[in-house]
């Protein structure tokens, strides 16, 4: 099925690592024009080269700290300047460091809030200024920790719950402009290879997150008995980005987690 994403201008934040990498390469296969907003520009260029080989119409990497509004505006200006507008924004950036709430500090809370919530606000606000003219799709990556409540992810889960609520409101406010806004919620999603992970990623040392034995135990608790892979999330995001197949879908929060969360 043709998703009709060929030639579309797509921004992927954090588009060079793990889920973000899979999203970027997914849009490349569809022939999109891609702007990768990435702190690790070197890793971004590696992914951009892969994307060109897979069929991206064009791709650029813009070094961006999404918590800095000036850098976000520069990145969006680069997308608009090169590709004529923005058709799709994927708010993919996220970060956490697993620990119980009473082990955390106010400085840690601030970092979590900036990366997982303020950065998403910066990107959405800046892109909406352009999308109100021609419509578009915004997909934000949240987490099933936002729906279940997960030990060692208190502040992160709270921020991702904020993403869910925010995107529903933005969907209601901007649907009249032909803008669709949706959310995907991963469960534990692990990269296939260490080479797929940027230096600053929370998965840069996967053993710092969970041991291999813990990964196996997590998988055993899921209805599908397997952990998520980056492509699982990319597939859902491509679907939600496409007016051809998801043109009447907005304001939705979709769990892509092997059945960890089942919300009806």
What CATH number is attached to the domain comprising 180?
3.40.50.720
Give the max Cα distance, the chain: 51
| DSSP designation for 116 | I
Residue 59, Cβ density class (10 Å: 0-12 exposed, 13-18 middle, ≥19 buried): buried
Q: Is residue 261 part of a domain?
A: no
Residue 105, classified by CB atoms within 10 Å of its CB into exposed (0-12), middle (13-18) or buried (19+), is exposed
Residue 181 lies in a domain: yes
Give, in order, the Cα–Cα distances in Å from 213 to each of 88, 149, 172: 38, 22, 43
Taking only the tens place, the pLDDT of each residue in 107-166 is: 999 999 999 999 999 999 999 999 999 999 999 999 999 998 899 999 999 999 999 999
Range of the domain at 115: 9-256
> Does the pLDDT value for residue 32 go beyond 80?
yes
Tens-digit pLDDT profile for residues 34-79:
999 999 999 999 999 999 999 999 999 999 999 999 999 999 999 9
76 within a domain of the structure (yes/no): yes
Closest CA to 187 of 160, 159, 205: 160
Lowest mean pLDDT among 12-21, 212-221, 253-262: 212-221
Q: What is the pTM of this model?
A: 0.93
Q: What is the pLDDT of residues 4-23, one digit of tens each?
A: 999 999 999 999 999 999 99
Q: Is residue 146 in a domain?
A: yes
User: Which three-class secondary structure state does DSSP give residue 229?
Assistant: coil
pLDDT score of 263: 82
pLDDT higher than threshold 90 for residue 194: no
Q: Is residue 3 part of a domain?
A: no
Q: Within a domain: residue 244?
A: yes
- How many Cβ atoms are within 10 Å of 66's Cβ, its own excluded? 25
In a domain, 243, yes or no: yes
Domains: count for the chain: 1
Q: Is residue 83 within 8 Å of residue 135, measured between CB atoms?
A: no
Would you give the DSSP letter of residue 264?
-
pLDDT of residue 204: 57
> Token pair of 168, please?
């529903």
262 within some domain: no
Choosing from 125, 156, 177, 260, the catalytic residue is 156
CA gap 43, 59 in Å, rounded = 14
Which residues, including other chains, have CB under 8 Å from residue 127's CB and lie 6 or more apart? Answer: 11, 76, 86, 89, 136, 138
With the C-alpha atoms ordered 140, 141, 146, 152, is the resulting torsion angle positive or negative? negative
**260 labelled catalytic:** no
CB atoms within 10 A of CB 254: 18
Computed over every residue of the chain, the mean pLDDT equals 93
């Amino acid at each position: 099925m043709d998703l009709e994403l060929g030639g579309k201008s797509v921004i992927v934040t954090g588009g060079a690592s793990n889920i973000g990498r899979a999203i970027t390469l997914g849009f490349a296969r569809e022939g999109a024009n891609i702007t990768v907003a990435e702190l690790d520009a070197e890793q971004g260029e590696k992914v951009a080269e892969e994307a060109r080989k897979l069929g991206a119409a064009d791709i650029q990497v813009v070094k961006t700290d999404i918590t800095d509004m000036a850098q976000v505006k520069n990145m969006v200006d680069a997308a608009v300047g090169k590709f004529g507008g923005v058709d799709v924004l994927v708010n993919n950036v996220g970060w956490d460091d697993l620990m119980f709430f009473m082990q955390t500090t106010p400085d840690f809370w601030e970092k979590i809030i900036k990366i997982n919530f303020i950065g998403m606000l910066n990107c959405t606000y800046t892109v909406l200024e352009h999308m109100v003219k021609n419509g578009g799709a915004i997909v934000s990556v949240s987490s099933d920790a936002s729906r279940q409540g997960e030990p060692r992810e208190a502040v992160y889960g709270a921020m991702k719950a904020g993403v869910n609520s925010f995107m529903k409101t933005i969907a209601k406010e901007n649907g009249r402009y032909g803008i669709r806004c949706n959310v995907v919620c991963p469960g534990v999603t692990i990269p296939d290879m260490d080479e797929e992970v940027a230096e600053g990623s929370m998965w840069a040392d996967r053993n710092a997150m969970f041991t291999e034995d813990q990964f196996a135990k997590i998988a055993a608790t899921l209805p599908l008995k397997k952990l998520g892979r980056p492509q699982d999330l990319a597939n859902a995001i491509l679907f939600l980005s496409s007016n051809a197949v998801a043109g009447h879908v907005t304001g939705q929060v979709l769990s892509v987690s092997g059945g960890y969360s089942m919300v009806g």
